[in-house]
Structure 1
């Protein structure tokens, strides 16, 4: 299987991703998908330096171009986006199927104006909630967890706070 773990994390790549989540879901590499990071050489290099794994930072368009290569790879990758809208683009709009993975893990979301706080360091806007709803309607379980042992619950627990 080419994709071993799928996550939405506003920090994308950091130590907790490779160390803690890597124990739960072994991987050989990381694919981070975010247009802004991929188009900024300094940002892309910083993300690559945050892990000792083979790391790629791609635009949504590039990911769509190489998606079949990713799926047929012998390498086990984490697939990470910075925000729920990018993950919705991949899973719903592009109809990308990450192997047998049915749970999308949502990590940190910064507190900001207009965001609904679900738990410590997990706040999301209405448009992010709309993306979670679309992802769930496309057959995935959306689970909020900063760490494997710090799980807040799934989208069904919080969706009413976003009008669903």
Structure 2
């Protein structure tokens, strides 16, 4: 189960991810963990179109991801919309050592902790729990930007 990168990105695979991050990280397979995308063929097709040439794409709901990630032998870039999803994966045996935070959009009830990163209380709790497990959580939009440790922002 070689997970080389894990990222919270509400937009999932999009321009920044499919160009800058895909070039900066050596991986073979995007693993998208998203309940809505997993059950919607049109969303899967859009993710496939956004996936860079030469990279495999797997789209799972959270339950299937827990089961399937352990069976993938290729180098994985795991992406999900929320730190809550990653907390669930981690609690169910998916070995993640670092978590990159990209964009989490504003919604009522969320507070800004960094530009384009808005979190609910539940997401804050998930980030705290993840860091309490010794997993480094950092905000970094692009690989060329500096990292911001989430503990300095929450």
Q: TM-score, normalised by structure 1?
A: 0.85
1:124 aligned residue (100, 119, 123): 119
Alignment correspondent of 2:89? 90
Distance 1:65 1:95, change over 3 A: closer
How far apart are residue 149 of structure 1 and its match? 2.7
In the alignment, structure 1 segments of 5+ residues that lack a partner are 160-164
Instruction: Write out aligned runs for 1:58-69 (5 A).
Output: 58-69=60-71
User: Which stretches of structure 1, 4 residues or longer, exceed 6 Å deviation after superposition?
Assistant: none
In the TM superposition, what whole-angstrom CA distance separates every residue of 1:69-121 from its partner, at most 9, and x where no partner exists?
Answer: 12xx1x21101111111111001x213114xxx22100001122121112221
Does the aligned pair in 1 maintain the 2:28–2:75 contact within 8 Å? Answer: yes
Q: TM-score, normalised by structure 2?
A: 0.91
Deviates more, 1:55-64 or 1:148-157: 148-157
RMSD: 1.5
Alignment correspondent of 1:139? 134
Alignment correspondent of 1:162? none
Alignment correspondent of 2:39? 39
CA distance in 1 between partners of 2:41 and 2:24 (Å) = 30
In the alignment, structure 2 segments of 5+ residues that lack a partner are none
CA distance in 2 between partners of 1:27 and 1:15 (Å) = 17
CA distance in 2 between partners of 1:56 and 1:152 (Å) = 27
Does the aligned pair in 1 maintain the 2:70–2:94 contact within 8 Å? Answer: no
- Secondary structure at the counterpart of residue 13 of structure 1: coil
Does the aligned pair in 2 maintain the 1:10–1:109 contact within 8 Å? Answer: yes
Alignment correspondent of 1:18? 18
How far apart are residue 68 of structure 1 and its match? 2.1
CA distance in 2 between partners of 1:152 and 1:96 (Å) = 24
How far apart are residue 152 of structure 1 and its match? 5.5
Number of aligned pairs?
152
